[in-house]
Amino acid sequence: MSGPANIFCFYGPEDFLVEEELSILRAKTAEAGGCDPGLEYFSPDSAVITDLIGNICTPSLFGGSRIIVLEGFEDEDYILLLDNRKSFPHSVKIVIMKDKLDKRGKLYKLLASDSVMKEFNHFAEWETKKVVDWIISRAKKAGKNIDPADAELLNDISGPSLRQLACEIDKLSVYIADGNTIRSDDIRALAVSGELGAFALENAFADRDLGSAIKSLDGAFRSKQQPQVLIGRIASRLRPYLMIKALQAKKMSDDKIISMLGMNPYFYERCNKGAALYSLEELVSAVGILSRTDLLIKNSSSSPRIALEMAIVDIMGGR
């Protein structure tokens, strides 16, 4: 039986949420069809798009549903596939995965007219309320409760990666066993020393405390924390400061800045306190320093420890 296939497009940089959406689609398909269809992944390394179209159009000898996941093909390949969609069996679900989509392009317009599209972006550093709400929701799925303040602590310690946060929530759920609520003592008890070192490093930047920053850097490296992770954590702390400082330079009121950035007022207060310790020029410079340090570590034999220490001194040493 032929007809329009179920076409999905999951796009955006937050791959953890994309994977979760795929799992939800798989579970719903299994429930409707009575068996798990699995996920069939194809990329340009494993298939030519014309051969793949023929594969999709050929009915399975065993019947049942299929979920075909496509990633890495050129837009022209996806357009060719969509041009043949009316020949695909109803039992086939096709998921196109892309990091970015040009909303002005032909592919986007085709998908928008005849597919289920879902975009998955990272939470911005200042969107703490959204992250806290996500943590609370994730904990509830695991059968546990967590207070918003403790959810914020978990975010501060673990960093902005939803994959890492989900992993920590799973560990905490096992750790408290029959307990109903994840508390701050549980979070601190289970946090690995590298995470605590990165957390302390972020706090040192918030206080503009060079001595504490160097000490925290030592602790993070002793705990085998990756330098790129540390650079990301520092950048995530300083970027909201830069945005606040830039808007304040335009004589914008606190209320308007909070509204424009969609910040939690408590988070804004914390960031504003840290931002006051740096000039706008220093924060602009800090972004460049971190970018150059990241490239230096990736593309040379320089010691990551020394490179990061020099970056920290360059950013904080002006006072």
Residue 172: enclosing H or E segment and its boundaries? helix 162-175
Q: Which two tokens stand for residue 196?
A: 């605590």
CATH code of 6-119, in short, is: 3.40.50.300
3-state SS assignment for residue 69: strand
* C-alpha radius of gyration, the chain, whole number: 24
Angle in degrees, CA 111, 90, 16, rounded to 5: 50
Q: Domain 128-190, CATH 1.10.8.60 — does that match?
A: yes
In 10 A of CB 57, how many CB atoms? 14
In 10 A of CB 30, how many CB atoms? 15
Note down pLDDT in tens along the chain; length 319 residues.
333 458 999 999 888 999 999 999 999 988 887 788 889 999 999 889 999 998 888 766 666 788 999 999 999 999 999 998 888 888 889 999 999 999 899 999 999 988 899 999 888 777 888 889 999 999 999 899 999 989 988 888 887 788 889 988 998 998 888 889 999 999 888 776 556 777 888 889 999 999 889 988 888 888 788 898 889 889 988 999 999 999 999 999 999 998 888 887 888 898 999 999 999 999 999 999 999 999 988 887 778 889 999 999 999 975 5
Domain boundaries, the chain: 6-119, 128-190, 226-316
Fold of 226-316: Zinc Finger, Delta Prime; domain 3 (1.20.272)
Angle in degrees, CA 186, 217, 203, rounded to 5: 60
Whole-model pTM above 0.75?
A: no
